[in-house]
Structure 1
Amino acid sequence: MRRGILSTAAAGVLLAGGLTACSSDTGTDSGDTPTPKIGVILPDSASSDRWETADRRFLQEAFDAAGVQATIQNAQGDKAQFQTLADQMITDGATVLMIVNLDSGTGKAVLDKAKQQGVATIDYDRLTLGGSAEYYVSFDNEAVGQLQGEGLVKCLTDAGVEEPTIATLNGSETDNNATLFKNGYDGVLDPLYESGEYVKGPDRWVPDWDGAQAATLFEQMLTQTGGEIDGVLAANDTLGNAAISVLKRNQLNGQVPVTGQDATPQGLQNILAGDQCMTVYKAIKAEAQAAADLAVALANGERKEVAQTVTDPETNREVPSVLLTPQAIYKENVADVVNDGYVTAEELCTDEFAELCAEAGIS
């Protein structure tokens, strides 16, 4: 994969600068040009809170600001519903379709059908392998995994743990992002396993990023190792919280570093409480704005140049891409996520977390 890394600010400047010709008035005086319509399909609301609490909100705000019609629907993990939503959006006159695929097979079928009907397409957050989207907008997902691997090493080193046994809860095997995350953290951890500094423990993929299945798998891991797990590489906050719930039942929470991703309120609360060592924050507002800018341009018949490409490993097609930069979050910089407007102090600092927030400089 050929990847350049854009800062959040740089991506915003690149796209904003390229789209200044777009008007918030989507019609014309003659009425000859139809109003652009954009359809967005989100994957679910179970794998992470972000899809409903962040992506939907920021995408809608961006479309409203641009003055375009947009329909944002959630497939709720149902592949048949995903295809039905796409068909309905195209039937209703969508000129651009933006998707977060549930898997590449379903995503490819939707993208190909849209292309056949002259509808422009964007892969949002997840690349559809073998797909035909005009653009891909996401984060540098191998860098996300690298931050997770480095974060786990930092937390174990800070705790003075020697020769730790690591359990790994990967995301869904059908999600290309989960593969990229794993590439990133395996790149950090594999050399430590090979040198004997770390011990590689159970390593499992979690179907559909499902927290309940993750808890069951982690319970099995703990039994399999006789409770000898010293660190957990969890691919997102949902999986991390599943592991923490099992650790709590075994009175091990706070003693075993756990990673995460998405900087969800629950993940951040777990960090403040000392049960999770870190998460990875991805500035979803910037990602949504970048994708919305491209969608609005396509809806207005414009094609914008972007600075990066990602190689589709199935077709070797170079997909024009915007990849933003993720940030590692530890207890000492949880406030960064609040200050960026991703979560509010009110939703984070509830009840027993109020004092912890104050200690972390969040008010």
Structure 2
Amino acid sequence: MRYAKARLLAACATGVLVLAGCSTNNPSSSSSAQAKGNSGGYKIALLLPETAVPRYEGKDKPYFRAHLKKLCPSCSLLYANANSSAETQQQQAQSMLTQGADVLVVDPVDGVAAASIVTAAKSKNVPVVAYDRLIKSPDLSYVVSNDYEQVGKLQAQALVDRLKADKVSPSRGGIIMMNGAATDNNAGTIKAGALSVIDKSGYRVLSSTDTWDPAAAQKWAAGQITRFGKKITGVYSANDGNAGGAIAAFKAAGVSQLPPMTGLDATLAGLQAILVGNQYMTTYNSFQHEAETAATAAYDLAQGKTPKAPATVDGHPATLNPPVAVTASTIESTVIRDRFWRAAELCTSPYQAACAEHGIK
């Protein structure tokens, strides 16, 4: 086990004698990792960034926990949610290191600030997996995320195609863009992917903002509706939360026919908005696959194994999930088929007719 070996070498350097001896080739140095897993299990820490986006508490956490338990019944999960505070997340990480975490899996609030978490973990020979969002550190052990550039491309292409299908002239107005927070590396990647499509489409961007806060998105969208009115022909939203804020702003302004709008995360609210025509599309990534991949990588690293890495991100070994565009006509064949949501959860009374219309049952 690489990290066990590092501790053993440090002990030898300071003259501390251990029962296993000071040879890194001693079979007991690798068997000790397995013994720990068999006797008391490893401590795997999962640190998630926020509660405003429902996927983290409702999907990522339970998927990760269930898969870790399947892989290692004797392992324990240390869990914390930073509730959008980078400072809180750093304190949570330090607490987990103090508790003896063998691996940290961190979805950072701030990908730059979280580099200090990686540094602190490295000082204790604890590997760090960046989960969903990249941490800007050269010392990461692994990255598990989604192909967020492709997310942006799918969103923007769907929006442009819809505008063209509706015969909306580029001269009539343009698109307002609600991108993710500037502190989130993924948000910049999504935005770049989206602009690579929009910039070539002939449709112009009227204005843009950077936030993951639905309330802030709603306030900003309300201001743009006052400013541009009917010149807003499309709404690029980086996720369903921002889209929900924009929908509320249009409704409050008395707009009955909303412009086509994008999203991400395939939230229940987002899918229901799609069913009734308030949102055009969302983008679906398998959170289950992402969380299970992260749990597997963490367990591998705890044992001193090298996780499989079909991709690289910022020079780090990685696994990236491919995104899927979801519209009303494909909800059944994507999120329902994958059991991401059950039809009963989606098709509550206000949405039963729309579900029937689109073959969701």
TM bracket, shorter-chain basis? 0.7 to 0.9
> What's the counterpart of residue 320 of structure 2?
323
Shift of residue 292, structure 1, vs aligned partner: 0.9
> What's the counterpart of residue 329 of structure 2?
332
Correspondence for 2:43 among 32, 37, 40: 37
Distance 1:210 1:62, change over 3 A: same
Distance 1:361 1:27, change over 3 A: farther
Amino acid at match of 1:280: T
Correspondence for 2:240 among 237, 240, 263: 237
* Residue deviations 1:125-156 (CA, integer Å, cap 9, x gap): 00112352100111111000000100101221
Shift of residue 29, structure 1, vs aligned partner: 6.6
Correspondence for 1:343 among 326, 341, 344: 341
* Residue deviations 1:106-143 (CA, integer Å, cap 9, x gap): 21111110111111110000011235210011111100
Distance 1:223 1:93, change over 3 A: same
How does 1:2-17 map onto structure 2 within 5 Å?
A: none
In 2: Cα distance, 1:31 partner to 1:127 partner: 28
Shift of residue 359, structure 1, vs aligned partner: 1.7
Correspondence for 2:116 among 105, 109, 112: 109
Amino acid at match of 2:289: A
In 1: Cα distance, 2:115 partner to 2:326 partner: 34
2:263 maps to 1:266: no
Bigger Rg, which one = 2
Task: Say which SS state the counterpart of residue 232 (structure 2) adopts.
Answer: coil
Partners of 1:95 and 1:119 within 8 A in 2: yes
TM-score (norm 2): 0.86
Distance 1:31 1:43, change over 3 A: closer
Partners of 1:38 and 1:96 within 8 A in 2: yes
Shift of residue 33, structure 1, vs aligned partner: 7.0
> What's the counterpart of residue 91 of structure 2?
84
Partners of 1:271 and 1:277 within 8 A in 2: yes
Shift of residue 253, structure 1, vs aligned partner: 4.5
> What's the counterpart of residue 131 of structure 2?
124
In 1: Cα distance, 2:239 partner to 2:287 partner: 15
Correspondence for 1:52 among 57, 77, 80: 57
How does 1:287-302 map onto structure 2 within 5 Å?
A: 287-302=290-305
* Residue deviations 1:26-74 (CA, integer Å, cap 9, x gap): 986799976211000000110x111111101110111111122212221
> What's the counterpart of residue 22 of structure 1?
none
Distance 1:29 1:204, change over 3 A: closer
In 1: Cα distance, 2:286 partner to 2:256 partner: 28
Q: CA-atom RMSD, angstroms?
A: 1.8
Amino acid at match of 1:241: G
In 2: Cα distance, 1:223 partner to 1:30 partner: 62
Amino acid at match of 1:321: A
Distance 1:254 1:61, change over 3 A: farther
TM-score (norm 1): 0.86
Correspondence for 2:142 among 135, 150, 154: 135
> What's the counterpart of residue 169 of structure 1?
178
In 2: Cα distance, 1:286 partner to 1:30 partner: 27
Unaligned runs of 5+ in 1: 1-25, 312-317
Amino acid at match of 2:218: A
Amino acid at match of 2:260: P
Shift of residue 158, structure 1, vs aligned partner: 2.4
Task: Say which SS state the counterpart of residue 130 (structure 1) adopts.
Answer: coil
In 2: Cα distance, 1:39 partner to 1:221 partner: 42
2:67 maps to 1:69: no
Correspondence for 1:310 among 313, 316, 319: 313
Shift of residue 85, structure 1, vs aligned partner: 1.1
Correspondence for 1:355 among 350, 353, 356: 353
Percent identity between the two aligned chains: 34
Amino acid at match of 1:360: H
2:195 maps to 1:221: no
Distance 1:29 1:126, change over 3 A: closer
In 2: Cα distance, 1:102 partner to 1:174 partner: 8
In 2: Cα distance, 1:153 partner to 1:30 partner: 54
Partners of 1:94 and 1:119 within 8 A in 2: yes
* Residue deviations 1:135-190 (CA, integer Å, cap 9, x gap): 01111110000001001012212222111410000110110000000010000001
Aligned length: 325
Amino acid at match of 1:319: H
Partners of 2:112 and 2:183 within 8 A in 1: no
Partners of 2:36 and 2:42 within 8 A in 1: no
In 2: Cα distance, 1:289 partner to 1:31 partner: 18
